[in-house]
Amino acid sequence: MNLTPELEQVRDEIKGYAIEYGLDPFETIFEVLDFEQMNEVASFGGFPTRYPHWTFGMEYDHLKKSYAYGLHKIYEMVINNDPSYAYLLKNNALVDQKIVIAHVYGHTDFFRNNYWFSATPRKMMDGMANHATLIRQYIDKYGFEEVEKFLDICLSIDDLVDFHSCFIKRPQTVSKTADIHKKEEDEESEKEKIQPTRFPAKDYMSGFVNKEEALKEEEARLKKEEEQKKYKFPLNPEKDILMFLIDNAPIGNWQKVILSIIRDEAYYFAPQRATKIMNEGWAVYWHSTIMTEKAMRDSELVDYADHHSGTLGSMPGTINPYKLGVELYRDVEERWNKGRFGKEYNECDDMQKRKDWDLHLGIGRQKIFHVRRVANDITFIDNFLTKEFCEKHKLFTHKLNEITGMYEISDRDFQAVKQKLLFLLTNFGQPIIRIVNSNYKNRGELYLLHQHEGVDMDIEYAKDTIENIQKIWKRSVHLETRLGDKGKLFTFNGKDHIVLNTNS
């Protein structure tokens, strides 16, 4: 549905305010949807066309029932695209539409200018439609059940990617011949480097310190290790497991295309997961700034305050990214306006002097624009979360009391809070798993290694993961991890799950 003349006027007015404040959003196309249309688009992740899969229907049913029972209400959706597409809910009050439009321009400015979105495709509306068309063609050719079964497998491992890989600059060789020649030169160079360790000694002691027999044994061992490296693949641990499977798994071309589609979409959504706090905080900062300083009428104040406070409200034991993000932006702005940063301020141990510190620099707005451009949630929290901020907002960590079965405050220490936040954000809270060998025991078996960070993996999830990878790899898949202080090796051979203890 097209915008009404009144909404078009509001859109143009708020866009003008956004540009006046220095925002640089994508051109944004707004559409008005009723609640059923909104739920349908939301179940597709904001896109009007997706490939057929039961998970979208499940999400639609969940959203529809939640709306009917009054458990939630979708006010807006916006798509990272050029031009961006945003959806407004029909029958919302005008003040709500104003908030949403201002909020959307905050998002589209973030999409366009944040570094972590710079590698995402900007024509993903077309991309998603193309993906849907391809998969429908495969359904017509191979059957719905066959394609759906493979989609289930791919979607269950869609987070086994390396979010940072799209920013890696890989050297380009002039030709395949030049590449092979370079490889031969490298191998010759490595052979020359294989020398046993000789300890410094006087000439008359050299025969005793560096025994010829020991030197030959070490040289033979080094050559054997170097030879074994040639048969180990990948040479370095690989975090982008989906890419490795696309390149090396014994599956059909249509299956590789589907796996590539799932991988591409995972990379498209990854920056939104990596900047959730920053992105929502930025949008809230600007909708509140534009509404309170420019766009809001006196008669809209109460409704605005009510709905804005609902956006920033937090449930017990949860992190509200809208609240944390906007408060941290405001804190950064205040600190840089007053000069509360740098060596002199950090070394000041007079609490009253720190409280009254104000150098009248007035560069806070400039600073948050810079932060918006370069940071993601991890660097945002790591660089700008302070002890004063934690104390002001009463942040704490909590844990389950095994006796009472209730969650209790476990720590209010600043470092504990900061480390907990960073831990939850690292790799989106998912286990870090890498492929270390695709020819384990020289049998073409896949060996995965879990980077243990003090939290054990969920055993059932681990088993399901290697089972689904095995369905793509066809041979046995192994996953090394730790449970408590014991090393474990989970294996699925296509029929049975096997768990062994390891020495690591």
| All residues at 6 or more sequence positions from 250 whose CB lies less than 8 Å from its CB, including other chains | 473, 474
150-185 pLDDT, tens per residue? 999 999 999 999 988 777 765 443 433 344 334 445
Q: How many percent of the chain have pLDDT more than 70? A: 89
From residue 379, give the alpha-carbon distance in Å to each of 110, 141, 421, 470, 492.
16, 47, 11, 36, 38
Quote the distance between the C-alpha of residue 127 and its chain's center.
Answer: 20
Residue type for position 178: A
- Predicted local confidence at residue 184, as pLDDT: 44
281: pLDDT strictly greater than 50: yes
> Cβ atoms within 10 A of the Cβ of 277, count?
25
Q: What is the DSSP string of 435-468?
A: EEEEEETTTTEEEEEEE--SSPPPHHHHHHHHHH
Instruction: Give residue 183's pLDDT.
Output: 47
Across residues 478-492, what is the average pLDDT?
Answer: 93
Distance CA 3, CA 330 (A): 33
- Calculate helix-pair angle for 321-338, 276-290, nearest 10 degrees: 70
Within 13 Å and on the Cβ side, how many CA atoms surround 257? 13
Q: Report which listed range, 19-23, 175-179, 184-188, 452-456, is most confident.
A: 19-23
In DSSP terms, which residues pair with 84 in a beta bridge? 28
Q: What is the pLDDT of residues 295-337, one digit of tens each?
A: 999 999 999 999 899 889 877 667 899 999 999 999 999 999 9
Phi-psi bin for 475: left (phi > 0), alpha (psi -120 to 50), beta?
A: beta
Assess contact for 99 and 308: CB atoms under 8 A: yes
What is the C-alpha to C-alpha distance for residues 490 and 504, in angstroms, rounded to an integer? 14
Tokens of 270: 């990854």
Return phi, psi of residue 33, to 5°: -125, 150
| The length of the chain, given as a count of residues | 504
- Per-residue model confidence (pLDDT) at position 233: 74
List, for residues 327-365, the tens digit of each pLDDT value.
999 999 999 999 999 999 999 989 899 989 999 999 999
Q: CA torsion sign, 23 to 29 to 34 to 37?
A: negative
What pLDDT is stored for residue 283 in this prediction?
A: 97
Beta carbons of 481 and 462 less than 8 angstroms apart:
yes
Omega cis (within 30) before 171: no
Q: Distance between CA 27 and CA 252 in Å, rounded?
A: 41
- Burial class of residue 394, CB neighbours in 10 A (0-12, 13-18, 19+): exposed
> Within 10 Å of residue 480's Cβ, how many Cβ atoms?
19
Report, in angstroms and rounded to the nearest whole number, the Rg of the chain calculated over CA atoms.
Answer: 28
- pLDDT tens digits along 384-426: 999 999 999 888 888 888 888 888 888 888 898 999 899 989 8
Q: Has residue 278 got a pLDDT over 70?
A: yes
Closest residue by Cα to residue 384 from 334, 430, 347, 433 = 334
